[in-house]
């Protein structure tokens, strides 16, 4: 989609048939918030497939996607921009070019740039410039999906307001890669167990911080989700969120030093297993959280309707959480969510999101939008990637 759009405060509806680009618009806004796609498997999927290959004089162009926005607050305006390029790198090894008979071998690579008011920033300095909460039909994966989806969800949420968490997460991920490489070397007999010590200390420090922060956020989200779920659940069922370690154990409430101490002991206990497997088996990269309904694991026993309400309650709690910790409303983005809700739930969700300063809803059927709201909202029509105002 190639579009520029001015979005006024209040509720905006993006209407159009499926496959015309409605979801792309919301995804672009969400990417500016977390620098990751909700849908794309990897960053390469964000690049336009129909990008031009050469410029006016025949020089090859980098394949390129750009998303930018002007954020207007009461006392300031901030321009943010995210660019991702696919570029050709000539492969070199020890300063010797490799050839395939037709010239140097080329390798595709991605380059990402982050700018705030035209100034380049690190990703850790860019995330959080704008906050957004995205609701999609894929949110059921928070209930039924694998642990990595729930970890990713937590990491993106926390990183929006806690840059120290994001930096600790980046350090931790690099540490685990290095430790895993060392574990395989120890198994092969080319390294010693004693060489694990510095890497273990990094895992204990950063990993303990990550686990403690996540567990506190889960407790906060759980408390907020209860109120949202009580409004949305027709049976008034009890919703609860529980942080789990890699073994499925519930993490007891404790301070960060205690969490780091538990992680230290787990690393000591698992060292032989880690060497045999060739990777680190304990730590926040293996943790999870579960959502229970009436104390029953929703991943195993919840119906699709129950799971939909639980996931929606969690996202509404996320919006309230970000509003509390940031002292400003996040953008609310609902991607075709109303199609799977009954009329009463649609009315309730719409009532809840209109408390926020700015909300966007996509739909393929305007009948899904409660009638009372249609008279005082901005409506855009999307067709074949083009967007135009209806009112």
Domain residue spans in the chain? 1-35+328-391, 44-126, 141-307
pLDDT band at 110 (very low <50, low <70, confident <90, very high): confident
Mean pLDDT for the chain overall: 86
Reply yes or no on domain 1-35+328-391 having CATH 3.40.50.300: yes
Would you say residue 51 has pLDDT above 70?
Answer: no
**Which among 33, 38, 80, 6 has a CA at the least distance from the CA of 328?**
33
How far is the CA of 211 from the CAs of 26, 87, 383, in angstroms?
30, 37, 45
Quick: pLDDT tens for 278-291: 999 999 999 999 99
Would you say residue 99 has pLDDT above 50?
Answer: no
Segments of 169-295 assigned E as strands: 239-244, 288-293
**Which among 352, 358, 353, 323 has a CA at the least distance from the CA of 7?**
358
pTM: 0.85
Separation between Cα atoms, residue 326 and residue 332, nearest integer Å: 15
pLDDT at residue 369 in the model: 86
Neighbours of 69 (CB within 10 A): 19
Torsion of CA 189, 193, 199, 203, to 10 degrees: 120
- Give Dmax (Cα) for the chain: 72
Helix 147-159, helix 304-326: angle, nearest 10:
20
Q: Is 135 helix (H, G, I), strand (E, B) or coil?
A: strand
Quick: pLDDT tens for 12-32: 999 988 887 888 889 889 989
Quick: pLDDT tens for 240-268: 999 998 766 676 667 888 899 999 999 99
Q: Please return the burial class of 113, using the count of CB atoms within 10 Å of its CB with bins 0-12, 13-18 and 19+.
A: middle
Cβ-Cβ contacts under 8 Å for 229 (sequence gap 6 or more):
237, 239, 309, 310, 313
Fold (CATH) for 141-307: Glutathione S-transferase Yfyf (Class Pi); Chain A, domain 2 (1.20.1050)
């Amino acid at each position: 989609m190639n579009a520029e759009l001015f979005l006024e405060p209040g509720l905006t509806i993006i209407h159009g048939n499926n496959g015309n680009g409605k979801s792309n618009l919301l995804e672009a806004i969400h990417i500016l918030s977390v620098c990751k796609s909700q849908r794309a498997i990897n960053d390469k999927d964000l690049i336009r497939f129909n990008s031009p290959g050469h410029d006016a004089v025949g020089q090859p162009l980098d394949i390129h996607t750009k998303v930018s926005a002007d954020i207007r607050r009461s006392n300031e305006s901030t321009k943010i921009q995210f660019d991702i390029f696919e570029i050709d790198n000539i492969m070199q090894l020890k300063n010797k070019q490799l050839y395939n008979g037709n010239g140097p071998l080329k390798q595709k690579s991605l380059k990402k740039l982050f700018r705030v008011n035209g100034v380049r920033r690190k990703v850790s300095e860019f995330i959080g410039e704008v906050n957004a909460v995205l609701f999609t039909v894929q949110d059921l994966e928070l209930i039924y999906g694998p642990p990595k989806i729930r970890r990713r969800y937590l990491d993106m949420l926390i990183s929006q307001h806690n840059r120290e968490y994001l930096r600790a997460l980046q350090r931790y991920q690099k540490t685990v890669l290095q430790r895993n490489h060392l574990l395989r070397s120890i198994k092969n007999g080319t390294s010693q167990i004693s060489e694990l010590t510095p890497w273990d200390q990094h895992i204990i420090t950063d990993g303990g911080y990550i686990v403690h922060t996540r567990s506190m956020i889960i407790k906060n989200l759980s408390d907020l989700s209860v109120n949202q779920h009580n409004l949305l659940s027709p049976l008034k069922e009890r919703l609860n969120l529980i942080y789990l370690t890699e073994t499925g154990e519930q993490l007891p409430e404790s301070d960060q030093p205690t969490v780091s101490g538990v992680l230290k002991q787990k690393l000591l206990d698992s060292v032989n297993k880690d060497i045999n497997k060739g990777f680190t088996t304990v730590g926040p990269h293996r943790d999870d959280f579960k959502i229970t309904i009436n104390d029953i694991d929703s991943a195993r026993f919840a119906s699709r309707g129950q799971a939909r309400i639980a996931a929606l309650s969690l996202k509404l709690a996320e919006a309230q959480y970000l509003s509390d910790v940031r002292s400003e409303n996040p953008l609310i983005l609902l991607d075709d969510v109303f199609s799977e809700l009954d009329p009463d739930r649609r009315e309730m969700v719409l009532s809840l999101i209109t408390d926020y300063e700015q909300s966007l809803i996509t739909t393929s059927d305007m009948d899904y939008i409660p009638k009372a709201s249609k008279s005082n909202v901005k409506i855009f029509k999307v067709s074949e990637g083009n967007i135009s105002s209806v009112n």
